[in-house]
Chain A
Amino acid sequence: MPTYLGMPPFPKAARDAVADRRLRANLAHATGTIRDRRLAAVAELDDWAALREAGRRIKDHTLEHLDHYLRLLEERVTEAGGVVHWARDADEANRIVVDLVKATGQTEVVKVKSMATQEIGLNEALAADGVTAHETDLAELIVQLGDDRPSHILVPAIHRNRAEIRDLFRRRMPGAPPDLSDEPAELAEAARRHLRAKFLSARVAVSGVNFAVAETGTLVVLESEGNGRMCLTLPETLISVMGIEKVLPAWRDLEVFLQLLPRSSTAERMNPYTSTWTGVTPGDGPGDFHLVLLDNGRTATLADEVGRQALRCIRCSACLNVCPVYARAGGHAYGSPYPGPIGAILSPQIRGIGSPVDASLPYASSLCGACFEACPVAIDLPEVLVHLRARAVENGPRHPLVDTAMAAAGWTLRSPGRLALAQRVASSSRRLVGRRGRIRRLPGPLRAWTDTRDAPVPPPESFRAWWRRTDGGRRP
């Protein structure tokens, strides 16, 4: 998965985002609203905890027998008239899709919102080969028209308010009325008109997959707007890209996930539209169906027994909406299509902890545990975050200051005289105290520490000095 070009590590990106008051207001409103709604939707089912536990068990079981279920899925999709392709990485997946599109002779495709195709940068790969991809989900369209990046798994344009969307449509959407207002209904109507012609003329569609049932070869897509149904049923060729972890053993398992996913993501009892299809159906829908099974770091994630649980994720985004860090930093700060707590554990695993961005992501959390509480498949996000912090320290790029600071600390602690001196210097640093009694920025090379946190104020007197002065507390 590519890191967003030029994206700084989380601390720097978050610092900029936190300073953007409009962004913070948009995010606070959106995450607060959906958080409350989700609690109500979940409270309606008195067996929610049991459903969540079943979801966790089914996903863990599937991962434990992933080879078996992938082979079965391939067999059943093929029997039903689909063609299965395998891709080790993003480049391979993009090559497969680009070649399939080119074989149809088409230069345009319509797309259903899909995290997997965001992850592999499919739109860019198609563009490089002269194929225009049209995002048809309203939020993805807003992101695409703005040459922007998605900032939320479920609501990619969550960072935009209605006035920004109106300005964008007026400027960039062909045929948008010049007097378009910022009423959500009017904006949606403009998008409907804009996309309808595309749906009715498109010959090729690309989708993601929410679930794939190995036992029956059935693919499942959940959505709200009907753009998914348009893409899945009107074109002649359908290409679906799915991460290999999306497979489920049996048809019956959908009874768990069709209850867990809508309530966790959009806080609805059921999303407006769910489509399922098994291969091709003569006379109804695409005559040509391709399924691309994507690894792209997933087997590497599977190999880590603690981190593996991230592959249970059903992309509901509940963890984003409850996360105090996400609510302030926003999705872009995570430098990946997967933002929020799940992004902080998924991105470093599927990309590897090689870059400063990925090494910083396990720290993009207060470890408050709200994400674990909200997760419908019980991914222990704090556990994985701490585990990945250890891996980042062992394997990730290390700030040169860390080595210097540790060497200096060792040197200081080896001599009582040097320690006493250091403590006196530290106490005198109290004049650096900023607002609310915290040090917001240390001078010189120590600034790297306070770039991401405020430092506590050293006590006016060290313990050793106090002990000497009061004879161990016997003198006042």
Chain B
Amino acid sequence: MSGAREDILGRVERILGTRPTSAAEAYAAIERPYRRRHHDDGILELFAERVADYRATVRRVTEAGLPDAVADALTGSRHGVPPGLPAAWLAATPPSRLVHDPAVADLDGLDGVVTGCAVAIAETGTIVLDHGPAQGVRALGLVPDRHLVVVAAGQVAADVPEALERLDPARPLTFVSGPSATSDIELNRVEGVHGPRVLHVLLVVDG
């Protein structure tokens, strides 16, 4: 296929000819008149409100109240738990209801999963997983029907630009905005077509 590569790049070069500046210089000169931040105050309130707009459940909890909140939110008998999830989060949940580091092949038999996240975005109500510690592989938060995510206040970025700055593109990333949804039938929104039907968010704030 090297013939195709040379052909395509050769055509592009002939069409574009010699350009006055290098790509790097021209790129640096691109003007970006948009705002990198839309909100300064009330970021956590905004995040909670915007997540709820997707028909996801959001609850604000304190660090001390988190174990009970997790136990309350885990309905069903088998919940997947990724490696690296802080043991304290599960202190009030009976171990018999938890499946640690489940194999991908076993995910379809789980009622739900509990994970952390890497970053969240207030403006759009989005949670981003980078599948590091406490988040598990990409399939974990996808196949089971309920996803409980714990978001620390410090993880909430105001806007999309700030969130992208905090993320490492070398890692696989999953941006989650509400539960799985389709609007393909007469534009009626239906939750849970292929991914999780329920997204439950616990926002951990101090005091």
Distance in angstroms from A398 CB to nearest chain B CB is 28
Distance in angstroms from B38 CB to nearest chain A CB is 7
Tell me whether A22 is interfacial, beta carbon within 8 Å. no
- Decide if A299 touches B137 in the complex (CB within 8 Å): no
In the complex, 18 of the A-B residue pairs with CB atoms within 8 angstroms, ordered by the A residue number, are A33-B187, A47-B35, A54-B32, A66-B12, A87-B4, A137-B184, A138-B185, A162-B185, A184-B186, A199-B194, A226-B142, A226-B194, A273-B180, A273-B195, A274-B173, A278-B169, A278-B170, A295-B11
Convert A294-311 into 0s and 1s, putting 1 for each residue whose CB lies closer than 8 angstroms to a CB of B.
010001001100000000
Count chain B residues whose beta carbon lies closer than 8 angstroms to a beta carbon of A: 69
Tell me whether A441 is interfacial, beta carbon within 8 Å. no
Task: List residues of B whose CB falls within 8 A of some A CB.
Answer: 1, 4-5, 7-9, 11-13, 15-16, 19, 23, 26-27, 30-36, 38, 50, 53-54, 104, 108, 121, 123-126, 131, 137-139, 142-143, 160-161, 164-165, 169-188, 190, 192-196
Tell me whether A53 is interfacial, beta carbon within 8 Å. yes
Contact of A270 among B23, B34, B121 (CB under 8 A): B121
Contacts of B161 in A (CB 8 A): 252, 255
Smallest Cβ-Cβ distance to B6: which chain A residue: A86
With A255-B160, A295-B8 known to touch, is A229 a contact of B174 (CB < 8 Å)? yes
- Decide if B4 touches A67 in the complex (CB within 8 Å): no
- Decide if B172 touches A275 in the complex (CB within 8 Å): yes
Smallest Cβ-Cβ distance to A136: which chain B residue: B194
> Please, how many angstroms separate the alpha-carbon atoms of A247 and B165 in the complex?
19
Smallest Cβ-Cβ distance to A96: which chain B residue: B1
Contacts of A271 in B (CB 8 A): 177
Convert A127-145 into 0s and 1s, putting 1 for each residue whose CB lies closer than 8 angstroms to a CB of B.
0000000001111001000
- Decide if A225 touches B194 in the complex (CB within 8 Å): yes
Contact of A225 among B33, B121, B180 (CB under 8 A): B180
Distance in angstroms from A65 CB to nearest chain B CB is 4
A sample of 13 more A-B contacts (CB under 8 A), given A184-B186, A259-B160, A271-B177, is A29-B186, A162-B186, A184-B185, A188-B190, A226-B194, A227-B195, A251-B169, A255-B36, A270-B175, A272-B195, A275-B138, A293-B8, A299-B15
Contacts of A285 in B (CB 8 A): 137-138, 172
Contacts of B179 in A (CB 8 A): 272
Distance in angstroms from B127 CB to nearest chain A CB is 10
- Decide if B170 touches A224 in the complex (CB within 8 Å): no
Convert A59-70 into 0s and 1s, putting 1 for each residue whose CB lies closer than 8 angstroms to a CB of B.
001001111111
Distance in angstroms from B101 CB to nearest chain A CB is 11
Prevailing SS type, chain A contact patch = helix
Contacts of A251 in B (CB 8 A): 164, 169
The range of chain A's interface size is: 35 or more
Contacts of B178 in A (CB 8 A): 272
Distance in angstroms from B97 CB to nearest chain A CB is 23
Contact of B34 among A47, A85, A299 (CB under 8 A): A47
Contacts of B26 in A (CB 8 A): 61, 64-65
Contacts of A157 in B (CB 8 A): 184-185
Tell me whether A291 is interfacial, beta carbon within 8 Å. no
- Decide if B30 touches A226 in the complex (CB within 8 Å): no
> Please, how many angstroms separate the alpha-carbon atoms of A45 and B104 in the complex?
40
- Decide if B186 touches A273 in the complex (CB within 8 Å): no
Distance in angstroms from B158 CB to nearest chain A CB is 12
Candidate in B13, B183, B184 with the most chain A CB atoms within 10 angstroms: B184
> Please, how many angstroms separate the alpha-carbon atoms of A425 and B94 in the complex?
94
Distance in angstroms from A348 CB to nearest chain B CB is 18
Contact of A284 among B23, B131, B169, B170 (CB under 8 A): B131
> Please, how many angstroms separate the alpha-carbon atoms of A246 and B140 in the complex?
29
- Decide if A277 touches B172 in the complex (CB within 8 Å): yes
Tell me whether A195 is interfacial, beta carbon within 8 Å. yes
Smallest Cβ-Cβ distance to A26: which chain B residue: B186
> Please, how many angstroms separate the alpha-carbon atoms of A218 and B145 in the complex?
28
Tell me whether A71 is interfacial, beta carbon within 8 Å. yes
Contacts of A255 in B (CB 8 A): 36, 160-161, 164
Smallest Cβ-Cβ distance to A232: which chain B residue: B138
Candidate in A61, A64, A155, A272 with the most chain B CB atoms within 10 angstroms: A272
With A138-B185, A226-B196, A255-B164 known to touch, is A57 a contact of B31 (CB < 8 Å)? yes
- Decide if A68 touches B23 in the complex (CB within 8 Å): yes
Contacts of B126 in A (CB 8 A): 270
> Please, how many angstroms separate the alpha-carbon atoms of A225 and B189 in the complex?
11
6 nearest A-B pairs in the assembled complex, by CB-CB distance? A226-B195, A274-B175, A270-B124, A139-B184, A226-B180, A255-B161
Convert A21-41 into 0s and 1s, putting 1 for each residue whose CB lies closer than 8 angstroms to a CB of B.
000001001100110000000
Contacts of B176 in A (CB 8 A): 272-273
Contacts of A67 in B (CB 8 A): 9, 12-13, 16
Contacts of B177 in A (CB 8 A): 268-273
Contacts of B192 in A (CB 8 A): 188, 192
With A29-B186, A165-B185, A192-B194 known to touch, is A281 a contact of B172 (CB < 8 Å)? yes
- Decide if A71 touches B9 in the complex (CB within 8 Å): yes
Tell me whether A216 is interfacial, beta carbon within 8 Å. yes
- Decide if A155 touches B184 in the complex (CB within 8 Å): yes
Tell me whether A51 is interfacial, beta carbon within 8 Å. yes
Contacts of A69 in B (CB 8 A): 23
- Decide if A142 touches B184 in the complex (CB within 8 Å): yes
- Decide if A54 touches B124 in the complex (CB within 8 Å): no
Smallest Cβ-Cβ distance to A157: which chain B residue: B184
- Decide if A234 touches B139 in the complex (CB within 8 Å): yes
Tell me whether A233 is interfacial, beta carbon within 8 Å. yes
Distance in angstroms from B197 CB to nearest chain A CB is 9
> Please, how many angstroms separate the alpha-carbon atoms of A226 and B126 in the complex?
15
Contacts of A216 in B (CB 8 A): 169-170
Contacts of A232 in B (CB 8 A): 138
> Please, how many angstroms separate the alpha-carbon atoms of A26 and B196 in the complex?
29
Smallest Cβ-Cβ distance to A33: which chain B residue: B187
Convert A229-253 into 0s and 1s, putting 1 for each residue whose CB lies closer than 8 angstroms to a CB of B.
1101110000000001000011110
Distance in angstroms from B14 CB to nearest chain A CB is 9
> Please, how many angstroms separate the alpha-carbon atoms of A304 and B104 in the complex?
49
Smallest Cβ-Cβ distance to B8: which chain A residue: A295
- Decide if A272 touches B180 in the complex (CB within 8 Å): yes
